[in-house]
């Protein structure tokens, strides 16, 4: 039996470990080394330049645009998504006032809201490219049909609107998931708490502030981390939907796009790897900060 045990374990683990080492672990490890070279893809011609790529990042205006845009997205996308998500989820549970029963049809609403979450960001980007089209898109068509011709814009081509248009798409695609998430969290709050608030004469807003929100705080926290990581990506939407892509004039550039362009269009593999490392540390910082503040909150509750 012992012999069979080791043979089974080896058979179960080795194929997956080989795959993991070759296609996942080794690329991640190599990326750190490559970021210290000036490699342009020719075998044997990677020159070690130490940290030299990193100061160059600071002088690359397009990359700085990307960092700025990602930073804006990191704040705006989670805040707006969570705001709408919490609003809709607590609306669903308002029923009378502060109750926890869903309003009629809340199940159907959730089904509709959730669907975009499942679509590929590429499909979403192509779809919204059509919606934003200045001549025959849905958005300008809607504005014209209600007589607001003055508000029609060339959404993705104007520098001041393009980033907002991109962020709106990200919010649109993810709100449904968080409605369902927050809805489940509100469901698990004991009904007595709502009834106590009702008896105390608390209105909808007071109930939300004193009962609902404090008790779904952990879910909100998780949501911030998830959305933050998603906001550091945004590659597919920007690459497919925007002019340039990343334009106009760097207005929608994101780090992923800069990395992709430098590596696979300009062949600056070492430099692109440095961007990857920068993105990695941004993600890591975000995760650590989120985990630490989460721990503090839990201590306060305890």
Partner 1 sequence: MTVTRERAAAVAARPAPARRVRRSGAAFPVHLAMLAWAVVTALPLLWAVVSSFKTDDEILNEPWSLPASPKFDNWSRAWTQASIGRYFLNSVVVVGAALVLTMLLGSLVAYALARYEFRGNRFIYYTFVAAMFFPVFLALVPLFFVVQQLGLLGTYPGLILVYAAYAVPFTVFFLHAFFRTLPSEVAEAAFIDGCSHSGVFFRVMLPMARPGLVAVGIFNFLGLWNQYLLPLVLNPDPDRYVLAQGLAALSVSQGYRSDWSGLFAGLTIAMLPVLVAYVAFQRHIRAGMTAGAVK
For partner 1, give the closer residue by CB, 144 or 296.
Answer: 144
Helix ranges, the chain (H): 2-20, 26-34, 53-58, 61-92, 106-118, 121-132, 138-145, 159-187, 191-199, 204-207, 213-231, 235-241, 255-264, 269-301
For residue 192, what is the DSSP state? H
3-state secondary structure of 37: strand
Smallest gap, in angstroms, from Cβ of residue 159 to partner 1? Answer: 19
Site string for partner 1, 56-95 (x = CB under 8 A): ----------------------------x--xx--xx-xx
In order of 2, 28, 41, the CA distances from 37 in angstroms are 49, 15, 11
3-state secondary structure of 66: helix
CB of 156 closer than 8 Å to CB of 241: yes
Residue 103 as a binder of partner 1 (CB under 8 A): the answer is yes
Integer Cα distance of 93 and 99 in angstroms: 6
Site string for partner 1, 230-269 (x = CB under 8 A): --xx-xx--xx--------------xx--xx--xx----x
What is the total count of residues that contact partner 1 (CB under 8 A)? 111
For partner 1, give the closer residue by CB, 118 or 148.
Answer: 118
For partner 1, give the closer residue by CB, 11 or 50.
Answer: 11
For partner 1, give the closer residue by CB, 170 or 255.
Answer: 255
Query: Within positions 5 to 44, which residues make up the interface with partner 1, using CB under 8 A?
Result: 5, 7-9, 11-13, 15-17, 19-20, 22-28, 30-31, 34, 41
Residue 147 as a binder of partner 1 (CB under 8 A): the answer is no
Single residue of 42, 112, 299, 302 touching partner 1 by CB under 8 A: 112
């Amino acid at each position: 039996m012992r012999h069979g045990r080791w043979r089974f374990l080896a058979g179960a683990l080795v194929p997956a470990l080989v795959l993991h080492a070759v296609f996942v672990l080794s690329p991640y490890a190599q990326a750190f080394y490559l970021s210290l070279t000036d490699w342009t893809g020719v075998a044997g011609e990677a020159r070690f330049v130490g940290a030299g790529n990193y100061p160059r990042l600071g002088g690359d205006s397009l990359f700085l645009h990307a960092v700025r845009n990602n930073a804006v997205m990191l704040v705006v996308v989670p805040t707006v998504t969570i705001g709408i998500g919490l609003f809709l989820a607590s609306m669903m549970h308002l029923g009378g006032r502060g109750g926890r029963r869903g309003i009629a049809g809340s199940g159907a609403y959730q089904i509709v809201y959730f669907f975009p979450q499942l679509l590929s960001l590429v499909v979403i980007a192509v779809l919204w490219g059509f919606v934003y089209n200045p001549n025959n898109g849905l958005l300008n068509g809607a504005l014209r049909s209600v007589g607001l011709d003055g508000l029609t814009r060339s959404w993705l081509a104007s520098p001041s609107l393009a980033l907002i248009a991109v962020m709106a798409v990200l919010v649109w695609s993810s709100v449904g998931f968080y409605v369902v998430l927050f809805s489940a969290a509100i469901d698990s709050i004991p009904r007595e708490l709502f009834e106590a608030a009702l008896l105390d004469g608390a209105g909808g807003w007071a109930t939300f502030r004193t009962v609902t929100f404090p008790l779904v705080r952990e879910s909100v926290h998780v949501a911030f981390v998830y959305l933050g990581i998603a906001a550091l990506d945004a590659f597919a939407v920007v690459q497919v939907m925007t002019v340039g892509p990343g334009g106009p004039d760097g207005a929608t550039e994101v780090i992923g796009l800069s990395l992709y362009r430098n590596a696979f269009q300009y062949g600056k593999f070492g430099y692109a790897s440095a961007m990857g490392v920068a993105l990695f540390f941004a993600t890591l910082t975000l995760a650590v900060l989120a985990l630490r503040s989460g721990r503090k909150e839990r201590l306060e509750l305890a």
